[in-house]
Amino acid sequence: MSKLGILGGTFDPPHIGHLILAQAALENLKLDKIIFIPAANQPQKQLQQVSSVAIRLKMLKLALGNEEQFEISEIEISRDGLSYTCDTVDELKDMYPKAALYLIIGGDNISEIETWKKPEDIFTKANVAAALRPEFKSIGTYMNKIKIIDMPQVDISSTLIRKNVKDGKSIKYLVPERVENYISANGLYR
């Protein structure tokens, strides 16, 4: 039975923290592959301005390069309406019926997962693993059902990167060089 990691997000932009998390999940959970799933319309980010799907997808492709154990799925992008994790897990379960699915979330989502649509369904159909951020506090209804991924504590966020660009600060080493060049060449986040 194959073991597939699911790493969803806005990826606006994808950064080194995403890649460190993916690599740590591969090793800690002994996964065969990580499927990166860029969100189209996240319920929690409806009021936030987000770069177009085409731009985020291009940056994610640049960030992942030719890494064989990383792949991108456009299932949320091609689905109409809001992107709910429970729907994505259902669809992936249908696509990979013999695979064990591992939903990878950030530690900041541990306490929020109980507010997501059909959280019990998510835990029934997928294993859930979380990476902890430095400010993490172990709280939440589902804390005892979540496996913690051991990884270096990296306090990098897409919000920080967008702010740095807007403020004219460097994002070198926060994002892969190809992503940094793409952001600069296309005048993103200014």
| 179 inside domain | no
Instruction: Determine, yes or no, domain membership for 58.
Output: yes
pLDDT given for residue 14 in this prediction: 98
pLDDT for 1:
85
In a domain, 7, yes or no: yes
Model confidence over 134-181: pLDDT tens digits? 666 666 788 889 999 988 888 899 999 999 999 999 999 999 999 999
Please tell me the pTM assigned to this model: 0.92
| Section 39-60 average pLDDT | 83
Residue 139 maps to a domain:
yes
- How many domains, the chain? 1
Q: State which residues form the domain around 43.
A: 3-155
Give residue 42's Cα distance to chain centre.
Answer: 12
pLDDT at 142: 86
Given a contact cutoff of 8 angstroms between Cβ atoms, the answer to whether 2 and 97 are in contact is: no
Residue 105 falls inside a structural domain = yes
Cα-flanking dihedrals φ and ψ of residue 179, to 5°? -70, -40
Q: Are 110 and 130 in contact (CB under 8 A)?
A: yes
d(CA 73, CA 57): 10
In the predicted structure, residue 81 carries a pLDDT above the cut 90: no
Judge whether 183 lies within some domain.
no
Give me the CATH number covering residue 111.
Answer: 3.40.50.620
Structural domain includes residue 169 = no
The per-residue pLDDT for 72 is 98
What pLDDT, on a 0 to 100 scale, did the predictor assign at position 111?
80
- Residue 46, pLDDT above cutoff 60: no
Residue 118: inside a domain, yes or no? yes
Share of the chain above pLDDT 90, in %: 76
Mean predicted lDDT score pLDDT of the chain? 92
